Structure 1
Amino acid sequence: MNKLIQFFEDHLVPVAAKIGNQRHLIAIRDAFAALMPLVMAGAIALLLNNVVFSPGGLLATLLKAEESGIYTFFGEYISPILGTVDSGTLSILGLALAFAIAYLRAQAEDQDALITGIISVGAYITLGALSRENLIVAPWVGHYLGSQGVFVALIVGLVVPAIYFGIVNKNWTIKMPDTVPPAVTRGFMGIIPGTIVLLLAATIKFALTKIPFVGMEAMFGEAPTTIFMLFEVYIAMPFANISQGPLLVFIISLLVPMLWSFGLHGANLLAAVTSPIYGNLQNHNLQAFKEGITEVGARPLETNTLAFWVSGSWDAYVYHGGSGATLPLIIAILVFSKVRDQREVARLSLAPGIFMINEPVLFGIPIVLNPIYIIPFVLNQPILAMIAFYASKSGFAGPIVNSVPWTTPPVLNALLATNFNPGAGLIAFLNLVIAFLIYLPFVIVANRADAKLNPSDV
């Protein structure tokens, strides 16, 4: 086992660390993290609306009070307010992402972050973000400012700064006297680079209207082709369809704890891949459910149905206590372990673990580079993911239609995320028990190993 650990440490850790330090991936990861205020504000508003205040929501349906006086009041004065929050949060994620990535890239390169971010937003709009006429997929959305534009926002947020930096570094800028205020100087310095970038964006938009593309008419009719349309047809839908298959879910579920085993934040390292795909599908589910769509399909963006596996699916069914489902491990240690230091760490880690924070147990036991606990830590997560995946695919659990805070305790997370779907709660509880049973024999093995090495600890 020690040789296996050493092999992974020698070969996997350097590669993972190099990927984790790649500047463009860091910008993507941090940009998605920066969107959390918008995402959570919109998600909380939708959650309250769907569950509590909407006359057609969960609580009104359970109480059979859809037409009662209080829900008439809610429907007229409260629900519209909560519904409007979407327009300034989830509905502008693509626009915000284009700004955030460019801003962070500029910061990393010691360039003018504010000007770079503004030019990136201008390029994003110039490419056609304000006009969307999809006849099949989410036809109620009339622009690409939200999740429908995420893939283009990624490209714009990376490419625009690269072009801008190249022009600035060639000194193709307007120089101002030293007596001019810095804010004015910065603005004038960005005129030439910004103009060139925006002209390039306009040229690309115009050129695409002159090229015939296969598969556009069925979805967009006679509307002129834009880069957003191309990404919807050729990138977003294929990725969305792949994401609803077990292989990608299994690989991601395996890689997250595997990276954590070496002290690398697996979820953050993979966020540049998972957020554009599964985060985008979750936003699609939230907005589609808001429009009354309840049918689940394996090709959600093509058939205008709900996706059965989205980013919130891991939180609801797999991350019980955090990556690797460590809350069941904490419980197993508290119940069965006699090792004093492990019990103390587990006791201190219990409260954070209930709210999905597991760094105390990861580095306190530790699980990182632990030849015993690393095995169940890595293997249990794909098992839990596959159980939940097929339960969701069959319709027994889910779908995820609300975005709840990731700190929501296990089981309650699944219930809230699925509008209190009983199958979702049952699968979440079942996975909690399965993870406990997977960890249990390793807790006993660790107990015996410590008894041999440190008799005084037991």
Structure 2
Amino acid sequence: MVTKLVAWMAQKKEQPTIKAVRRTLVMIFPFVLLGSFMQILAQSVFSQTGFLNSIFQLSDKVPAFEKIYYFFTNLSFFTLGISALLAAYQVANYQAKYLHKDGAMAGLTGLVCFLILVIRPLDGTGRLNFNWALLGTPGLLLGLLVGCLVGNLFNLLGKKTARQVERTDDVLARAFAALPVITLALLLCLLFNLAVAFFSGQDAVTNFFAGMEAFADNQDRVGTVVGLGIISNLLNWLGLSGPYNTIGTVYGDQKYLDNLNYALSHGSAVNVPYKYTVTTLYQSFGMFGGVGATLALLIAISLVSNSHRALRVSRWSFLPVFFNVNSPLMIGLPLLFNPLYLLPFVLAPCFNMLIASLAIKWQLITVLTYPVPVGTPGVLVAYIGTNASISSLVLGIVLLGIDVLLYIPFVKVADAVSCKLTGGI
């Protein structure tokens, strides 16, 4: 069974579109990695509510502390924050090159088409306005789809080009040859964007995901919270935002605030009114290393993997993943769209939440009630949020160990697929 799965996966990964997507994710990995480090510096170190700042009081010691925060925030945007835009360019480029079409022109067309799709054409201000969130990892699926569509359009309608073009006149000839395809691609994207804005509203997608988050924040039943966790993990595996906002989370949903007020007024968090929420279950025990409990995957790779590439990516990703920023692992390994890791990615956090809910029910642990600094490592979230409860810390470490065991078989299968693709090298 495993042998057949390995052979099937190796065959699928050699298909042109899948190969283009995989190579694109590898190409944008350095930008995502650098952006993740910038994000950690902004959130954990140079934010007034950051984890490391709360420990070392850096805001009182470092000159221009707030300016440094904005500096790293902006750097993060221009690396991690435009990953979907980069993906749209690179996939279109690869797709066209595979059939000896004009990859450079296809890549530029994919980039412009993506910008057209994320613009708000009817905002009424007269200024250029983008849906900025879609430029980054929440829009990664859209960027990859746009790149694939543009690349295929060039393959269908574009002219073949020589591999080496050296003269300026040849470049100009390529530009004119690609002009009909470019015009068609841009026109299709513009019409699609206008149709969505006109019939569905300017911010239909943004409002939909915001509505999902608002719905998720109001839940207090184990089954609902775990079910929404499955949906959120699955959507993140697809490169989309889920019901649970997981990046730079500030614990401020109404049920968390009600629990905090109860604990402050009664001097105890034992009988808080809401025990099974996104904060007490998902944020506390479902995010060890970000979405999908990817800190466990990183540890599993370090323990059993023989893949040089996987080990190299995991080493570079350790610091971001430890601070719950798992974008480098999602893109560099990759985890995105990778069926080999789908089951543990979706189910490991949900297993953690179910066990944690039983521990809460049996009063083995208290729930996260108190403020948690932004950028706190996942394994310490419950410990800090329960006012240094040792039982919560022990439970988190035990669950992390179980998650590692859950990931290990899948890491071994991924190694086998990688070995088959490289001919045993």
Q: For 1:196, give the aligned amino acid.
A: L
Check the 8 A contact 1:51/1:59 in 2, yes or no.
Answer: yes
Q: Deviations over 1:326-377 (max 9, x none)?
A: 73x79xxxxxxxxxxxxxx9xxxxx9999599xxxxxxxxxxxxxxxxxxxx
The secondary structure found in structure 1 opposite 2:48 is: coil
Q: Deviations over 1:389-410 (max 9, x none)?
A: 447888669999659xxxxxxx
Change (3 A) 1:297 1:15: farther
In the other structure, the counterpart of 2:98 is 108
1:436 and 1:208 map into 2 onto residues whose CA distance is 43
1:124 is aligned to 2:106: no
Identify the match of residue 166 of structure 1 among 156, 180, 199: 156
The secondary structure found in structure 2 opposite 1:318 is: helix
Total equivalences in the alignment: 324
- Structure with the greater alpha carbon radius of gyration: 1
Check the 8 A contact 1:98/1:120 in 2, yes or no.
Answer: yes
Q: Which has the higher contact order (CA 8 A, sep 6+)?
A: 2
In the superposition, the TM-score normalised over structure 2's length comes to 0.57
Q: Deviations over 1:209-251 (max 9, x none)?
A: 443x4xx5xxxxxx4x7xxx3587389969x989963895999
In the other structure, the counterpart of 2:251 is 294
Q: For 1:318, give the aligned amino acid.
A: A
The secondary structure found in structure 1 opposite 2:186 is: helix
Check the 8 A contact 1:316/1:414 in 2, yes or no.
Answer: no
Change (3 A) 1:178 1:24: closer
Range with bigger deviation, 111-120 or 55-64: 55-64
Identify the match of residue 321 of structure 1 among 273, 293, 299: 299
Identify the match of residue 233 of structure 1 among 193, 208, 213: 208
1:163 and 1:33 map into 2 onto residues whose CA distance is 23
The aligned runs of 1:255-294 (5 Å cut-off) are: 274=237, 276-277=239-240, 280=241, 285-286=246-247, 288-289=248-249, 293-294=250-251
2:206 and 2:53 map into 1 onto residues whose CA distance is 39
Q: Deviations over 1:122-178 (max 9, x none)?
A: 111222436697xxxxxx965632234333223211111112221115x8x9xxx99
Check the 8 A contact 1:129/1:145 in 2, yes or no.
Answer: no
Q: Deviations over 1:244-282 (max 9, x none)?
A: 638959998xxxxxxxxxxxxxxxxxxx982514xx569
Change (3 A) 1:144 1:104: same
Structure 2, unaligned runs of 5 or more? 124-129, 217-223, 256-277, 318-341, 361-366, 408-425
Q: For 1:285, give the aligned amino acid.
A: T
In the other structure, the counterpart of 1:9 is 3
The secondary structure found in structure 1 opposite 2:290 is: helix
Check the 8 A contact 1:38/1:89 in 2, yes or no.
Answer: yes
In the other structure, the counterpart of 2:338 is none
1:112 and 1:80 map into 2 onto residues whose CA distance is 39
1:185 is aligned to 2:178: no
Range with bigger deviation, 383-392 or 144-153: 383-392
Change (3 A) 1:382 1:60: closer
Q: Root-mean-square deviation (CA), in Å?
A: 5.4
Give me the identity figure in percent: 16
Change (3 A) 1:247 1:42: closer
Q: For 2:192, give the aligned amino acid.
A: I
Deviation at 1:116, TM superposition (A): 0.6
